[in-house]
Structure 1
Amino acid sequence: MNGATIKGTTLTQVALKQVALALSLLLIIAVGACQPARVLTVLAAASLTESFDEIIETYRAEHPGVEVRVSYGSSATLAAQVASGAPADVFASANESTMASLAKAGLDVTPEVLTTNTLQIAVPPGNPGNVTELADFADEDRTIALCAVEVPCGKAAATLSERLGITPKPDTYEVDVKATLRKVELGEVDAALVYRTDVTSARGRVEGLPTPGAEQAVNTYLIAKLPDTADAGEAERFVAYVLSPEGQAVLRSYGFGGS
């Protein structure tokens, strides 16, 4: 016997269909559990690495349906990627002119002030090059690293040097502030000019020296939702969280000035 029938369909066939339906539902649930409901892509200046890592970790915990993916690098490089159509939802720049380049490229952005930062002299532990002030950066007998002039930390270094009447003689120009700091951490240079936040984040791998006049070259960081975002609402929520008292407290803990 093939089993009882219900209008031409055996009970066995009905049972198999029910099992298949149940398995399909379980598969849908499993896939949904493995894949976040939304993905948010953030591009941020290299100097924000440690602070944004902490902010994003907390944001993920408070928004379990959102996966935040972040890429750090030179603000100028990231801005060029955005202008070229790279998919992203939020951009955080280390200065105002880099963010303004997006508007010049025809993108409709409305940035908000994120925080501020200033430069500081960084030397290897023990200061083997006996660097004491920014004027020592003009000494050809010392090995010096600076950020490339095209990126925000390099522009700030050039501004500060000009205002203090100093002509640095760097041995290397690096692509961003983290690469510049790394030269100090590896002991490859006697000194570098980086952000004070990077000295803080290095946690003893470098020493920071007093840098009189640093307040003459303050970098204002900006953050903006990008016009081609795939999820404007989530992008706005993330920006709001970074600008909230909780987000600003994290930035200040790394030495940023607060917005």
Structure 2
Amino acid sequence: MHLRAEAIVLSVRAHGEHGAVVRALTEAHGLQPGYVRGGRSRRLKPVLQPGNLVLGEWRARTEEQLASLTTELVHSRAPLFSEPLPAAAIDWVTALTAAVLPEGQPYPRLHAALDGVLAAIEAAPAARGWGTALVRYELLLLAELGFGLDLERCAATGGTAELAFVSPRSGAAVSRAGAAGYEARLLPLPGFVAAGGTAEWREILDGLQLAGHFLERDLLTGRAGETLAARTRLIDRIKRAVA
């Protein structure tokens, strides 16, 4: 196996005394793991930073063998890790992607969307600039892996007007009329999820609550601990920024 492609670094795990196993997302070949010799060295550590764009070259004698990986930095987002909120966002979105995507399957829409989220964080480190993009990415991830929400019409009335809630069980939208008397049992559906555009803090937090419920239930079952801890840190920092 020989593959050469640009990729977004998702995770770096120590392996052996000096090496690292790196998982990175390519556009055409999906998530690719590889062993980087000396990956924990002072020279390579700034390159193998989650969120960075690298040119990777994977080589292995068989498809089953963990490939040897060499990397060349294309674009660094390492400076963002000096700021707590952007650092928490990059930690979460890359850890989530690394945890749930199967290896070797292309997801070009996810690759483009992840690159867009990282670019938005880089362009405007305050969460108002990228919070909506992050929520949309989480919902796209659910959809691409077969757990998309049904937000086209109300599950109770069949109508398309005033969709304001989502059933936490079915993932279907519910209108204000259809939710009458049951609002407390439903998840809020922020307007930007369906209509796009910017959002207020409350809507961003509602969107994170919505996506987080289904991510934990459908994609992170049995492996949620460390990954969801990154999400908890992010939401705590967003709330502190809002206060």
TM-score range, shorter chain: under 0.3
Select the structure with the greater relative contact order (CA < 8 A; seq sep ≥ 6).
Answer: 1
TM-score by length of 1: 0.24
TM-score by length of 2: 0.25
Which has more radius of gyration?
1
